[in-house]
């Protein structure tokens, strides 16, 4: 049985799962900074998940399937997640970075795109990391099952993408969370802050993040130092963060109420991932009962 959003939000080990995912995403960034940074805003997340879902759903026997400009545009603009021009620019950038390529004759219309190996590997890792994070909550075996049965990936990712894009609670983050997630490279900054969270100070409503070097962080994430400082200053003004020493600005606190907002938002996505994995296991077992893995149901 998959977790609900409310169950995850209230679970005492869910924060550990978020820290684990933040660590995994940091390793992805270290392995391929250009790809990770390119997808580090929430809008790019929505676009990339939608594009990959359309790519996986391609069926040569069914006309008008697969990733095309028109299909991605309709999927994204239909929920006002991005403009038509943003979709076109996104696909152009994916091509220029060689994350996608034209699948058919380039003169054929409409052009259909397919993901390159680096993109496929990154998305598979993202799904696996999210499943492993859920396993940290209940000691499940979701990630191990996916690695043993990689065919489940083609069922899980499109279902997560479509349901996440249709869910306004995930598509439109809380205002203070959106302050980070809607900005360029803001997702990388948020992940870095979350992975630094340790136990709260006794009797205090905040978490110690330790020393934060804005210059080094900006350089690390290939972003403007001015942009990062402006983002941190706004977060302090909104009560998300607090400097230990306002004059030196070297050590940060993370407020408990902001963390609770972030946890509530992430619980939406994780519940969708868990439901999609549970559904994919049942679908695969129904189609091929002889290959059913008992551990799948335990995830």
Lowest mean pLDDT among 25-34, 46-55, 251-260, 290-299: 290-299
The stretches of the chain forming alpha helices (DSSP H) are 5-10, 14-31, 33-38, 42-56, 69-77, 84-96, 117-138, 142-148, 153-166, 168-171, 175-181, 186-196, 214-220, 225-237, 256-287, 294-298
Residue 75 lies in a domain: no
The predicted pLDDT at position 63 comes to 85
Does the pLDDT at position 178 exceed 90? yes
pLDDT confidence band for 288 (50 / 70 / 90) = low
With bands split at pLDDT 50, 70 and 90, how would you rate the model's confidence at 292?
Answer: very low
DSSP structural state of residue 3: P
Number of domains present in the structure of the chain: 1
pLDDT greater than 90 at residue 4: yes
- pLDDT for residue 193 is more than 70: yes
Per the structure, the complete domain to which residue 185 belongs is given by 175-260
Does the pLDDT of residue 173 top 60, yes or no? yes
17 and 3 Cβ atoms separated by less than 8 Å? no
Q: Strands 100-102, 112-115: parallel, antiparallel or unpaired by DSSP?
A: antiparallel
Q: Residue 293: its pLDDT value, please?
A: 47
User: Is residue 241 in a domain?
Assistant: yes
Q: Which residues contact 242 (CB under 8 A, 6 or more apart)?
A: 206, 236, 252, 253, 255
**Which two structure tokens, joined as six digits, stand for 197?**
């969270």
Query: pLDDT by residue (tens digit) across 146-169?
Result: 999 999 999 999 999 999 999 999
pLDDT for position 229: 92
Question: pLDDT tens, 25-62?
Answer: 999 888 999 889 888 899 999 999 999 999 999 999 99
List Cβ neighbours of 138 (8 Å cut-off, separation of 6 or more): 3, 13
pLDDT of residue 39: 86
Which of 54-58, 114-118, 210-214 is the least confident region? 210-214
pLDDT range class, residue 126, cuts 50, 70, 90? very high
- Identify whether 64 is part of a domain: no
> Residue 103 is encoded by which pair of tokens?
């699948």
Degrees, nearest 5: CA angle 79-80-83: 135
Structure tokens of 79? 């929920």
Q: What is the pLDDT of residue 245?
A: 77
Predicted pLDDT of residue 246: 67
Give domain status of residue 192, yes or no. yes
Q: What is the CATH number of the domain that holds 243?
A: 1.10.10.10
* pLDDT bracket for residue 294 (50, 70, 90): very low
Residue 286: its pLDDT value, please?
80
User: What's the CA gap between 188 and 29, in Å, rounded?
Assistant: 8
| Cβ–Cβ < 8 Å for 229, 239 | no
- Reading phi first (left if > 0) and then psi (alpha if -120 to 50, else beta), residue 179 is in alpha
**69 domain-assigned:** no
pLDDT of residue 129 exceeding 50, the answer is: yes
Half-sphere exposure of 272 (CA within 13 A, CB side): 21
pLDDT score, position 198: 78
Average pLDDT, the chain: 92
- Token pair 């934060």 is found at 212
Give the confidence band of 298 by pLDDT, cuts at 50, 70, 90.
low
* Least reliable range by pLDDT among 107-111, 167-171, 241-245, 266-270: 107-111
| Mean pLDDT across 98-121 | 90
pLDDT, tens digit, for every residue of 66-85?
999 999 999 999 999 999 99
């Amino acid at each position: 049985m998959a977790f609900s959003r409310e169950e995850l939000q209230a679970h005492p080990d869910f924060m550990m799962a978020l820290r684990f995912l933040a660590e995994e995403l940091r390793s992805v960034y270290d392995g391929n900074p250009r790809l990770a940074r390119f997808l580090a805003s929430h809008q790019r997340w929505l676009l990339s998940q939608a594009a990959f879902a359309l790519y996986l759903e391609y069926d040569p026997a069914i006309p008008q399937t697969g990733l095309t400009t028109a299909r991605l545009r309709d999927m994204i603009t239909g929920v006002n997640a991005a403009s038509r021009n943003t979709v076109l620019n996104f696909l152009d950038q994916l091509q220029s970075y060689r994350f996608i390529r034209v699948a058919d004759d380039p003169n054929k219309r409409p052009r259909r795109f397919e993901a390159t190996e680096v993109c496929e590997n990154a998305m598979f890792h993202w799904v696996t990391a999210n499943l492993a994070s859920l396993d940290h909550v209940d000691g499940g075996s979701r990630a191990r099952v996916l690695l043993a049965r990689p065919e489940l990936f083609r069922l899980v990712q499109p279902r997560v993408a479509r349901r996440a894009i249709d869910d306004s609670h995930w598509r439109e983050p809380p205002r203070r969370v959106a302050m980070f997630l809607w900005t360029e490279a803001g997702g990388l900054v948020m992940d870095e802050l979350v992975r630094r969270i340790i136990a709260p100070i006794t009797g205090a409503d905040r978490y110690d993040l330790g020393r934060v070097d804005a210059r080094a962080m900006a350089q690390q994430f290939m972003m403007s130092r001015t942009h990062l400082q402006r983002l941190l200053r706004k977060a302090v003004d909104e009560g998300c963060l607090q400097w230990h020493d306002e004059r030196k600005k070297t050590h940060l606190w993370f407020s408990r109420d902001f963390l609770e907002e972030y946890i509530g938002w992430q619980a939406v996505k994780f519940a969708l991932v868990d439901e999609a994995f549970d559904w994919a296991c049942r679908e695969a077992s129904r189609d091929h009962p002889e290959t059913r893995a008992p551990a799948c149901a335990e995830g």
